[in-house]
Amino acid sequence: MSNSINIGNVVKKYGELTIIPNLSVQIKNGEFFTLLGPSGCGKTTLLRMIAGFNSIEGGEIKFDDMIINNISAHKRNIGMVFQNYAIFPHLTVRQNVEYGLKIRKIPKAEMKKKVDEILETVKISDYQDRLPEKLSGGQQQRVALARAIVIHPSVLLMDEPLSNLDAKLRVEMRSAIRDAQKKVGITTVYVTHDQEEALAISDRIAVMNQGVIQQVGTPEEIYARPNNVFVSTFIGHSNLFYGKVGRDSNSTYVEFTNGYKILLDNLSQDCKAGMKVIISVRPEEFSIANDGLKVKIKNRTFLGKHTNYELDFSDSMIIPNQPSIEYSQDLGQSTKTYEAGEMLSLKPNAYKINVFTEDGQKSLIKGCD
Amino acid sequence: MEKKKHFKVDFWFVITLVIVIVFALFLVYPLFSLFANGFKDADTQTFTMNNFLKFFQKKYYYRTLWHSFLVTTCTTILAVGIGAPLAYFTTVYKVKCKGLIDILIILSMLSPPFIGAYSWIVLGGRSGVITKFFASTFGIETPSVYGFGGILLVLTLKLYPYIYLYTKGALKKVDASLGEAAESLGCSSVRKVATIILPLITPTILAGSLLVFMNALADFGTPMLIGEGYTVMPVLIYNEFISELGGKANFAAALAVILVIITGIMFLAQKYVVNKKSFTMSSLRPIQAKRLRGGKNILLHIGIFIVVFLSIIPQVTVIYTSFKVTKGSMFAKGFSLKSYQSIFGDLGKPILNTYKFGLIAIISIILLAMFIAYITTRKKSWLTNIIDSITMFPYIIPGSVLGITLLLAFNKKPMLLSGTAVIMIIAFVVRRLPYTLRSSAAILYQISPSMEEAGISLGDSPLKTFFKVTAVMMLPGVMSGAILSWITIINELSASVILYTGNTKTMSVAIYTEVIRASYGTAAALASILTLTTIISLLIFFKISGKKEISI
């Protein structure tokens, strides 16, 4: 049966090098939980610690209430899908799926029923007698998934399972994985560096960077109210501006360096008047309005659903070293498009934008601390 | 307008023709005359099956076939038993001095097997060091090193490295995630090896064992020196040929035909196994070596060091004894450089010959291999397909058979080559071409034809482009095979021992004749020089290629 995973203060070291300094997170029974982060952030390391392929240098990992630190991988009852699928090349599709059941000494008849069922679920019954090398990447992926699920593991672990597939297949497979997971109702830990994939597939996401969890939340929470600048720029695009907090008798606002002000009623108590902050505005959180920020268009890119304008703000207004400052115009709603060189007047949406401390480490929006 | 496809007369067509002629002359024609001779009566020169009947009727003859089979089969089993576990343990567990171990294993594989036989005679023979020590100290008689057991010992220690290197290569291709996948499905580590790792490397081990089988079957030097009464096929062929010389060599030819048929079958079986049963595996993350702790770790190291020590004993013995004072055939107390003085005096010629013939042969091999590899992969036609098939012949012709074959073919005018340096060089080229050819073809498959097209599109002629672009890019691959060709050329015995004359003697032949004459000191000095040459060649190759391994 499926169970929760409780990770408490775990530490991972390779010799002197600390990969994960101190990490705690609770993964609920039956949920689809994603570890998301740039490469080298420690997400795969953490997954392999849960699997039992990496040692744990400190803290503990529990399946429900049972500490599994010292249980070897083959006794943890996990199902794992590998980045390169790790299909046994000398066994047919069916034999691959049967492998774990044979080890569990499942009676023949029952094994046949289980295998038939799972092959049907992941839609590979037609290929069951083929050797893996005759299969496409997507089909191999399905075999890997079937092989991991059929043993009814306590937890299902997936290490970037879609990264070797092309874009279209990736979208198709991610719903296949999601469907299969919901059907079996199994606790799943999924590792990816692809934020779109993470947003689409997960119940909850943990964003990781340099071995530290930056934020845990639903895809909506993480996108709308990121905890810090790292999360806000890693998930989707965010334009970062210098700003400072201001207070009137009955209102609070943030002020850009050129004096433009936005009234905000959701700033946290920590905000003092005059405090320097970072204002984070997503490209779609701008709208064209007369009382907006005046800015020249540097460049534009037509993308079908919308048009992206690269904006030419002065260096004194924006945080340095950003890839670009963008406004994304929703073409379904607008009647006029603009050319490079034209001036725009853009108004940030006060209900959507985020404000962070000057060092970018903390959100100053109410309820995000 | 539809034209029939003609061969365009260009540089490559000329090359193709030249190669066809070379092959026809030095491979097809000699082999044909061998078969023809085998079916001829020695006196009347008419067609007969009597040569074969004679072999299968007399126990004295046909038992050699049984001997060969027995010794070869046992060698193969032992070689797998040693080589495969050694490869597995050194891959899965961290082992100290890994680089040194690999080099020593490669070295023991690449030195001539008769050096092994010779050293074990010096150590455990009738008047050997170990034999005497046990007899005088404990009064115990040590088991004889001659005969079946001796051949088995020497051949196993010489041939298990093939299995070791093959298995190691296969294990490198097994992705670590396969083992982890098995574990994640609840598989214990013993079961993991049995159900996943072993099946994946079995085709490779099988291919390797067939290679060992053919090598053991074809080996001449070892059973000749240490076999004594235990005669195997190659020794019988040699003896019959030598004793028939002057007369007609029809019976020896018939024996050679039998041997070629057997090795041919083994070769086809090996090809079949490699093609049918191998899995295409590529590993992004090879298996990581783990550190074993405590007693297990010590046991592991002891086991590995014993094997490596045993296989390097011949080299150590040879070098040690080369500095000993000799009295007749015996080694006496004290050290001297006398053995070296005598080889640089009287026996200087074989040393010079070895390098001279070897260099000419290796240059011919490199040129031939590059051209053949190119035409058989890039200029495919029925003609190049035939060439491709003929290049397989050397694999199935044991050295002693090749020697006889060439002698039979070139012993009368207008093609009188016997006794010349040319026939020695031809033998070297034919025997050792496959190593370089295979590595050249392999690298050519990795070079995109568009490289050459790019050169041509920029206005260079196809020929110039070949030399300036393709040939240069091929070089690393060519060299990795050429190093093997070179080392096996300078160590070649079984063909040379049939083809040599006083003027064309090489080092390995000289060692052999010195051992037969019981001049162990000079034999040891010569063998030391040969071993040193092998080591230096290997080190230069490692240095240039930046690799620490060779591909077999």
* DSSP letters spanning B353-418: HHHHHHHHHHHHHHHHHHHHHHHHHHS--HHHHHHHHHTTHHHHS-HHHHHHHHHHHTSSTTS--T
> Closest approach of chain A CAs to the CA of B398, in angstroms?
35
One domain, residues A220 and A287 = no
Domain closes at, from A168, A199, A224: A224
Q: Which of A25-39, A291-305, A353-367, B275-289 has the lowest mean pLDDT?
A: B275-289
Say if residue B212 is in the same domain as residue B341.
no
Same-domain check for residues A136 and A96: yes
Q: Which of B184, B191, B284 sits opposite A73 (nearest CB)?
A: B184
Is residue B44, in this structure, part of any structural domain at all? no
pLDDT for the residue A240:
96
Cα maximum dimension of chain B? 92
Q: What is the CATH number of the domain that holds A22?
A: 3.40.50.300
Q: Is residue B140 predicted with pLDDT exceeding 50?
A: yes
Task: Kindly state the average pLDDT of the residues B133-145.
Answer: 81
Out of B181, B186, B195, name the one closest to residue A86 (CB): B181
Return the percentage of chain A with pLDDT > 70, whole number. 99
Q: Which of B79, B233, B246, B80 is nearest to B156 (CA)?
A: B79
Q: Does residue A306 form part of some domain? A: yes
Residues A249 and A103 in one domain: no
A218 and A252 part of one domain: no
Residue B289 lies in a domain: yes
pLDDT of residue B392: 83
Domain boundary among B287, B321, B355: B321
pLDDT band of B94, cuts 50, 70, 90: very high
pLDDT band (50, 70, 90) for residue B44: confident
Over 50: is that where the pLDDT of B4 sits?
A: no
Please compute the mean of the pLDDT values over residues B24-29 and round it to a whole number: 91
Cα(A10)–Cα(A68) distance, integer angstroms: 12
Q: What is the pTM of this model?
A: 0.81
Q: Determine the pLDDT at residue B2.
A: 43
Query: For B202-211, what is the mean pLDDT?
Result: 87
B182 touches chain A (CB under 8 A): yes
pLDDT of B108 > 80? The answer is: yes
Structural domain including A149 reads 5-224
* Strand order, beta sheet including A17-27: A17-27, A5-14, A58-63, A66-67
The answer to whether residues A251 and A284 belong to one domain is yes
Q: What is the pLDDT of residue B3?
A: 45
Does any domain span residue B252? no
| Residues A250, A147 share a domain | no
Nearest residue of chain A to residue B198 (CA atoms): A90
Q: Do B177 and A83 touch (CB under 8 A)?
A: yes
Residue B250 covered by a domain = no
Q: Provide the pLDDT confidence category of residue B509 given band limits of 50, 70 and 90.
A: very high
Tell me which residue in A74, A86, A104 faces B177 most closely, judged by beta carbons. A86
Question: Least CA distance to A146: which residue of chain B?
Answer: B185
- Decide if B239 is inside a domain: no
A145 vs B334: which has the higher pLDDT: A145
* Predicted local distance difference test score (pLDDT) of residue B278: 66
- pLDDT above 90 covers what percent of chain A? 67
Task: Tell me how far CA of residue A94 lies from CA of A140, B86, B279, B280, in angstroms.
Answer: 12, 33, 17, 19
Distance from CA of B183 to the nearest CA of A (A): 4
A74 vs B178, B188, B285: nearest CB = B188
pLDDT at B248: 67
**Smallest Cα distance from B327 to chain A, Å:** 60
Q: Are B232 and B151 in contact (CB under 8 A)?
A: yes
B178 chain-A contacts, CB cut-off 8 A: 86, 88
The whole-number pLDDT of residue B548 equals 66
Residue B166 has pLDDT above 80, yes or no: yes
The predicted structure's pLDDT at residue B335: 82
Residue B365 CA to residue B358 CA, distance in Å, equals 10
pLDDT single digits (tens) A207-260: 999 999 999 999 999 999 999 999 999 999 999 999 999 988 788 899 999 999
Q: Is A74 on the interface with B (CB under 8 A)?
A: yes
A98 in the same domain as A213: yes
Same domain membership, residue B469 and residue B427 = yes
CB of B53 within 8 Å of a chain A CB? The answer is: no
**Tens-place pLDDT, residues B426-435:** 999 999 999 8
State pLDDT tens for residues A289-334.
Answer: 999 999 999 999 999 888 999 999 999 999 999 999 999 998 888 7
pLDDT at B113: 67
> To probe the interface with A, which of B178, B184, B206, B284 has the most A CB atoms within 10 Å?
B184
User: Considering the domain boundaries, does residue A346 fall inside one?
Assistant: yes
Q: Does any domain span residue B501?
A: yes
B495 burial (CB, 10 Å; 0-12 / 13-18 / 19+) is buried
The answer to whether residues B408 and B383 belong to one domain is yes
Encoding tokens for residue A306? 């919308």
pLDDT tens digits, B229-287:
899 999 999 888 888 655 568 888 999 999 999 988 888 887 887 777 667 676 778 88
State the greatest distance between any 2 C-alpha atoms of chain A, in Å, as a whole number: 78
Mean of pLDDT over chain B: 87
Region B23-37: mean pLDDT is 90
Q: How many domains does chain A contain in total?
A: 2
Q: Is the separation of the CB atoms in B227 and B235 below 8 Å?
A: yes
Q: For A45-83, what is each residue's pLDDT tens digit? A: 999 999 988 999 999 999 999 999 999 888 889 999 998
Tens of pLDDT, residues B77-93 = 999 999 999 999 999 99
Q: Is A191 in the same domain as A46?
A: yes
Question: Number of folded domains in chain B?
Answer: 2
Q: CA-CA distance, B106 to B38, in Å (whole number)?
A: 38
Q: What is the pLDDT of residue B552?
A: 62
Best mutation target among A50, A74, A101, A111 (most B Cβ atoms within 10 Å) is A74
B275 in reach of chain A (CB within 8 A): no
* B429 in any annotated domain: yes
Report how far residue B20's alpha carbon sits from residue B10's, in angstroms, rounded to the nearest whole number.
Answer: 15
Beta bridge partners of residue B93, listed in sequence order:
B290
Nearest to B186 among A90, A151, A157 (CB): A151
Mutate to test the interface with B, among A53, A82, A98, A149 (most CBs of B within 10 A): A82
Query: Which residue among A198, A224, A250 closes a domain?
Result: A224
Question: Which H, E and C letters describe B241-267, residue by residue?
Answer: HHHHECECCHHHHHHHHHHHHHHHHHH
The answer to whether A14 contacts chain B (CB < 8 Å) is no
Given a cut of 50, whether residue B1 has pLDDT beyond it is no
Same structural domain for residues A208 and A282?
no
CATH of the domain at B301: 1.10.3720.10
| B190: containing domain | 65-232+265-321
What contacts 24+ positions apart, CB below 8 Å, involve B528-532?
Answer: B528/B318, B528/B319, B528/B322, B529/B343, B529/B351, B530/B111, B530/B112, B530/B115, B530/B354, B530/B490, B530/B491, B531/B107, B531/B111, B531/B115, B531/B315, B531/B318, B531/B319
- Which one of A224, A258, A273 terminates a domain? A224
| CB nearest A90 (choices: B185, B279, B284) | B279
Q: Is the ipTM of this complex over 0.95?
A: no
Question: What pLDDT was estimated at residue B463?
Answer: 82
Residue-level pLDDT at A300: 92
